[in-house]
Copies of this chain bind each other. A is one copy, B any other.
Amino acid sequence: MLELNFSNMMGEVVGQSGIPEREIEGIKTTVYDIDKRIKAKERPELAFIDLLEQDISEIKKIASAVRGEFESFIILGIGGSALGPRAIIEALSPLHNLDKKPKVFIYDNVDPRTFDRILSLADIKKTAVNVITKSGSTAETMSSFMILWDKFNKTVPDASKRFIATTDPEKGNLRKIADEKGFKTLSIPPGVGGRYSVLSPVGLLLTEVIGINADEMLQGARDIHKRCTDPEIWRNPAYLFGVLLYIMEREEKRPINVMVPYADGLKPTAEWFCQLWAESLGKLGMGLTPYPSLGTTDQHSQLQLWMEGPEDKVVIFIKVDDYTVDAEIPKVFQDMDGLNYLGGHTLSELIKAEQESTELALAKIKRPNMTISIPKIDAYHMGQLFHFFEMATAFTGFLYGVNPFNQPGVEEGKNFTYGMMGRKGYEAKRQEVEKAREKKMCWRV
């Protein structure tokens, strides 16, 4: 089971930069109230919790067909539709494409260079495509879908058998196309938003495609769910996570949350968390800025700033208890001071020592931090990690009094793009762009 060690967040340990126990006590009534609202499913988007009980037999069937028939598997999706899948494959099958089948390409941008490379690497005749968009009209995803659909139709006789649409069960253009053309389809339940969808078919199809049992991921999520709905804050890691970071921002003026897993494979999980945390909480002029990082690597990149830069950060470590593989450092160069101490230890001893050292170095100068321990990086514990963070994020949104499920701030940018691309009804936006271009003062060098 995941564990949250928050000693270094507390006043007893880090003094004035820490949180006094009574402050957490003082927030208990609010927490009881939010807990009730979550359990009452006050908002339809809390449907992400129902994912834990979903039937995944159709996912397994489709995945098994993909595994049997195709050499490459392209995912088209962006934001929540790509970050979850990427977190899963990098955690559970690192460097997958170098010796595993099917190769997996997650195309989550409209970068022409990447698109060109993927097309030169994936043989269309042996490729399946999973198009993921809840709304069914995401510009980035649907553009690349349109190109691939056309290309497949010109190359293989049974194009429609190679497309799997993961989208709304009823609404949207992709659903309509999928039904008309006879694609295989998987549904994202109506309430579930993109960034809360990793444990829906969005993430689970890929899990099964790379040969991992998605049941285990859901089992992990179910097992931690009980702890994440305990109304007693001192026993609930998700609520506590939110309360601690909330107080750190509101009272201690620390709005930046650095997320540092000590495992290469969890770097995309930190990025997945960053979307969840940023997009859910960043509104009404408030919000926490999550920062994706990686240990030990970023000790040689960001640590200087965490230690001696402005006092505006909380560092959150993710510590792995068992890496399941290891390598011993041999006792070579024993005559060399500055090297000889390494011999006889293992890589996992070193990485763990570095994680603890960094924690301690921060605490020693009263810079708050906390540590999430994950027993090992497998499907079961990834399920725990995902669900824990989703519960924590929804809870923290309620704590801030914002809607943790919308993202109104991204609309204006989309409108300008529609205008520039000539979408009907957006003529005024196009004019606005043109006007802005005209009057744009060119400060340029």
Q: How many chain-A residues does the 8 Å CB contact rule pick out?
A: 154
Would B110 and A347 count as touching, CB distance under 8 A?
yes
Q: Interface stretch among A58-66, A279-287, A379-387? A: A279-287
Q: Which positions 156-173 of chain A face chain B at CB distance < 8 Å?
A: 173
A338 close to B (CB within 8 Å): yes
Measured between beta carbons, the chain B residues less than 8 angstroms from A5 are 442-444
Measured between beta carbons, the chain B residues less than 8 angstroms from A443 are 5-7, 9-10
With A194-B300, A357-B413, A416-B357 known to touch, is A332 a contact of B146 (CB < 8 Å)?
yes
Q: Which of B149, B274, B347, B436 contacts A115 (CB 8 A)?
A: B347
A424 close to B (CB within 8 Å): yes
Chain A 1-38 against B: per-residue CB contact (8 Å), 1 yes, 0 no? Answer: 00111110110110000000000000000000000000
Measured between beta carbons, the chain B residues less than 8 angstroms from A306 are 282, 409
A428 close to B (CB within 8 Å): no
A274 to B99, CA, bound (A): 32
Would B336 and A176 count as touching, CB distance under 8 A?
yes
Q: Interface stretch among A39-47, A183-191, A212-220, A229-237? A: A229-237
Q: Which of B111, B324, B351, B432 contacts A351 (CB 8 A)?
A: B111
Chain B nearest CB from A405 CB (Å) reads 12
A347 to B119, CA, bound (A): 14
Measured between beta carbons, the chain B residues less than 8 angstroms from A240 are 445
Q: Which of B147, B289, B300, B357 contacts A275 (CB 8 A)?
A: B300
Q: Which of B143, B227, B409 contacts A303 (CB 8 A)?
A: B409
With A7-B441, A285-B308 known to touch, is A143 a contact of B347 (CB < 8 Å)?
yes
Q: Which of B146, B150, B332 contacts A339 (CB 8 A)?
A: B146
CB-nearest residue of chain B to A97: B98
Measured between beta carbons, the chain B residues less than 8 angstroms from A10 are 441, 443
A54 to B420, CA, bound (A): 46
Would A282 and B304 count as touching, CB distance under 8 A?
yes
Q: Which positions 234-272 of chain A face chain B at CB distance < 8 Å?
A: 234-237, 240, 255-256, 262-265, 271
3 nearest CB pairs, A to B = A79-B300, A282-B305, A282-B309
Sampled A-B contacts (12; CB under 8 Å): A5-B442, A13-B441, A78-B297, A83-B301, A110-B350, A113-B263, A139-B354, A143-B350, A150-B332, A308-B409, A360-B416, A360-B436
